[in-house]
């Protein structure tokens, strides 16, 4: 069964009556198989899963695509219902607030800022973005009170921000990172892929191919990182890169001299569409 809730009052009343543990999947809608993989993981672990569909205005800068971001609630609900058929007897409670005031009441000016992770890489390109992410996730955690919450690792920096927020604030929720779901071509699934022409989708493969090339050069060996960094500099001569970096996978520090695992993170831009991806590589 899929239950749709549009107001915070109704959500809180429903949650207060819940006797079972619940999982939670926060999204901005325009669902694809990446989101569905999170839902199905949650449904494999909980009979009741809360699922939010909310385009969060706090994580968009004034010049970004908040108003153009695709809103496809009816189709999203159909995808959820189809997925739910694999889990007889389970329920998905969908919170799709009718407006932003349901999540952020007037005069509510609380901001959650995860220092150290919020202003580098994607945070440097999009100032304030991760404050918006952390603030909305914290608010949704307050409303949902989940036992576990599921996030895709495609947004790797976001995942680390949420993990650190939960640790710093001692929140009683376990954050689960789920593998990136890709098209057969290797392109990471994203709601923004629909903005691309067929030619641009082919060009977008530069992102995953470049990361795989760097990972192949590193080959799990510390001594190969300098070679990979030289190759990375050549790759970044293409001005369509917003950034392409090799960082520590746990802290996103630039100092990877003692790292046991590294992350290759990048954003490749085609016209106004920014495509984000990453790979993690264990080091020997």
Q: Write out the catalytic residue numbers.
A: 35
- Contact call for residues 6 and 98 (beta carbons, < 8 A): yes
- Contact call for residues 50 and 140 (beta carbons, < 8 A): no
Token couple for 218 = 């590193």
* Residue pointed to by tokens 């995953």: 208
Using CA atoms, how far apart are residues 200 and 187, in angstroms rounded to an integer?
A: 11
CA 184 to mean position of chain CA atoms: 20
Using CA atoms, how far apart are residues 40 and 269, in angstroms rounded to an integer?
A: 31
Task: Look at residues 139, 159, 279, 268 and name the one whose alpha carbon lies nearest to residue 214.
Answer: 279
Map residue 81 onto helix, strand or coil: helix
């Amino acid at each position: 069964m899929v239950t749709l809730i549009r107001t915070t009052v109704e959500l809180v009343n429903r949650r207060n009556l819940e006797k079972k543990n619940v999982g939670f999947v926060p999204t901005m809608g325009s669902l694809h198989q990446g989101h569905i993989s999170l839902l199905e993981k949650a449904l494999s672990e909980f009979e009741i899963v809360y699922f939010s569909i909310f385009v969060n205005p706090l994580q968009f800068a004034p010049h970004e695509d908040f108003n153009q971001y695709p809103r496809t609630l009816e189709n999203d609900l159909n995808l959820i219902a189809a997925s739910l058929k694999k889990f007889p007897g389970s329920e998905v409670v969908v919170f799709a607030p009718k407006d932003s005031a349901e999540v952020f009441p007037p005069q509510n000016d609380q901001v959650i800022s995860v220092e150290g992770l919020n202003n580098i890489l994607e945070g440097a390109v999009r100032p304030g973005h991760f404050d918006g992410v952390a603030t909305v996730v914290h608010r949704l955690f307050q409303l949902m009170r989940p036992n576990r919450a599921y996030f895709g690792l495609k947004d790797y920096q976001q995942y680390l921000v949420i993990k650190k927020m939960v640790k710093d604030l001692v929140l009683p929720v376990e954050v689960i990172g789920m593998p990136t779901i890709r098209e057969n071509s290797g392109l990471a699934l994203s709601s923004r892929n629909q903005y691309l022409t067929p030619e641009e989708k082919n060009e977008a493969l530069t992102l995953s191919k470049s990361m795989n090339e760097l990972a192949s050069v590193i080959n799990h060996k510390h001594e190969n990182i300098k070679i990979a960094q030289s190759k990375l500099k050549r790759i970044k001569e293409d001005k369509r890169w917003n950034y392409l970096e090799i960082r520590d996978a746990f802290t996103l520090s630039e100092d990877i001299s003692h790292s046991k695992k590294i992350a290759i993170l990048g954003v490749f831009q085609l016209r106004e569409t920014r495509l984000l991806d990453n790979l993690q590589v264990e080091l020997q």
